[in-house]
Chain A
Amino acid sequence: MRAPNWPLFLVAMLAIALLPLVFRNGYALHIMILALIYAIFAQAWNLVTGFGGMKTFGHQAFFGMGAYASALLSMQAGLSPWITIWIAALATSLAGVLIALPVLRIRSVPHIAIVTLAFAEIVRIIVSNLRGITRGELGLIGIPGFDALTLPVIGLVRFTPAQKLGYFYLAWLLFAVVTAGFLAARNSAHGMRVLAMRDGQDAAESLGVNIAAYKIALFFISAFIVGLIGAFYAHYIIVLTPSSVLGVDIMVLVIAMTLVGGIGTVAGPIVGAVLLVVSVELMRDLGQYRMLVYGGLIVLSVLYFPNGLASLADRVRPWRRAPERSLEQQDNQP
């Protein structure tokens, strides 16, 4: 097992941090912020699906819950978004534990897919129907942005639609922390146990891995990250509708990104998210073909590229170990 390449990670993070020097305009910043948001989201989905082996299709629920919870808390309770994003993330992670409970009972891939999808649809319908609180599909408006900060050296940092630089560096910071966390956890004893659980649940259990605890923990961590980034998204975009943050489309996007990049690898979801967000934006004329492109990419990568682009790096550099076994056989029985 190779150790994480920390120097490469630091260089990459530094390079990302310097990007706004080259791309200064608001539109370019917006694309980079979106890419970072999706890179975090896809990593968190990959944690449960690629590393944990539980194929969930309902993570859009966590994104939307984080977004709506933080937006509503900041609007109704008058709390600062700096506080509400953490409350929202924590609440979302508890929902993650709740959905992990039925998942504990089953190993069958289709059952997990349906339970998680049904859960996400319930959340979407509830948010759409509670118009008194969320305004439903009319959209929740008037969500406050982050309060301005006075930092040492840098001075006053504002967070407004016109001043995106603050948002960019906040997203960058979240991305750096999450990615560093995954890199470190990947090779830790916990990471090994999770992979063992994915590749041979009974064997792992017989060797003393507490399967239930790990599955719940994965859902807790993953939902926390997705809820947090959903909350960030709410205070960045400042308008929410159920279809924009809770629709199945979002899950399709994240699945496409992860599969294109390489499921079950740390780099895969990041590569996929950046590639898809940027390329779809570059082909802006293709705007209405966006979902078509995502659907097509899922089909093509599953059929012809099951290990994604991240495995390509391994192929190009033969001294690296072979790509992880990313998909496993599981029992058909529930």
Chain B
Amino acid sequence: MSAEVFFTQILNGLVSGAMYALIGAGVALIYGTQRILNFAQGEFFMLAAFGLFLLSTQVGLPLVVSAVCAVILVAAFAALVYRAAIQPLMNREGWEFSTIAVTLGIAVLLQNVAFLLWGEKYQTVPYFIDGSIAIAGIAMPLQRVLVFATCVGVIVAMTLFLKYSRLGWAIRATAQQPDAAAVVGVPVQRIRMLTFAIGCGLAAIAAVVLAPIYAVNPWIGVPHLLKGFVVVIMGGIGSFPGAILAGFVLGIVEAIGITLTSSEWRDVIAFAAVILVIWLRPAGLLGKS
């Protein structure tokens, strides 16, 4: 592998790593705060991509406006789904499995509703910005730079939000001690619904910046969901910084890995890594064992 190929792959790895980190952060936020493994996360990703496509090409809104609207709509829809299908399960016995089962059912439902409404054809969304820039002599499309910048920016903003805002405190308090949080006046149920919506919103943000690169169809959510799970397990399930670190590690390992083998084996590398991590270090890279 020449130095140039290697360096290009590192750059590509950073871009997909930022994307994995953002998707993983969404999964980790929901899991970390309420122990729900959300199998429908990928479908909120898919819906946001479709939202961007429909609002920009069918309704005719400007791209950026469409993207913002799509993210907000998806987050609101996620809150609704939480309220209707997940919250009722939380007080029942065996909720850990029933929430997985119900989100899996919702995922299948949403995929097939999207398929019936919009068909299976890959729909394309225009780039937010055209052109490319040279980074150390390697041409990088600006859209990919935008993906990287957005993902990193959102992750940083999210970290600061959780750490310093009152709402962020409420979210963390609810995660750590729901009863104590309720005693000091935190509306626990609403915070949980909000956290779920934000977690799905993070997937939606990843979706709208990625849609121009990957195109849109009802089945695009599943691979991203699986990658999100991989990242979250590797980073230590529920650990926000762990998910981010694991996202970048996975992005770079995959990018190097596919130049050594071929792109069709990429997912095997990721899934084998996740089984090994669980086998050898179940708590993940940064998780507490």
Contact = CB atoms under 8 A, between A and B. Distances in A.
Contacts, number: 140
Size bin of chain B's contact surface: 35 or more
Interface in B221-250: 222, 226, 229-230, 233, 237
SS of A interface (majority): helix
Contacts of A334: 237, 278, 282-283, 287, 289
B53 interface: no
Contact of B112 (A102, A118, A291, A330): A291
A114 B109 contact: no
Contacts of B96: 109-110, 329-330, 332
A128 B98 CA distance: 31
Bin the interface of chain A by size.
35 or more
A302 B89 contact: yes
B100 A110 contact: yes
A34 interface: no
Nearest to A126: B268
B180 interface: no
Interface string A154-182: 00000000000000000000000000000
Nearest 6 Cβ contacts at the A-B interface:
A327-B94, A298-B105, A295-B108, A334-B282, A295-B109, A118-B271
Given A115-B274, A292-B112, 11 more contacts: A105-B279, A106-B282, A110-B35, A119-B271, A121-B267, A129-B265, A294-B105, A294-B108, A298-B102, A325-B93, A329-B94
Interface of B: 31, 35, 37, 85, 88-89, 92-94, 96-98, 100-102, 104-109, 111-113, 116, 222, 226, 229-230, 233, 237, 264-265, 267-268, 271-272, 274-275, 278-279, 282-283, 287, 289
Interface of A: 55, 57, 101-102, 105-106, 108-111, 113-115, 117-119, 121-122, 125-126, 128-129, 248, 252, 255-256, 259, 288-289, 291-292, 294-299, 302-303, 306, 325-330, 332, 334
24 contacts: A55-B97, A102-B279, A108-B282, A110-B237, A111-B282, A114-B274, A115-B278, A117-B229, A122-B271, A252-B108, A289-B112, A292-B116, A295-B109, A298-B101, A298-B105, A298-B108, A299-B106, A302-B98, A302-B102, A303-B89, A327-B97, A327-B98, A330-B96, A332-B96
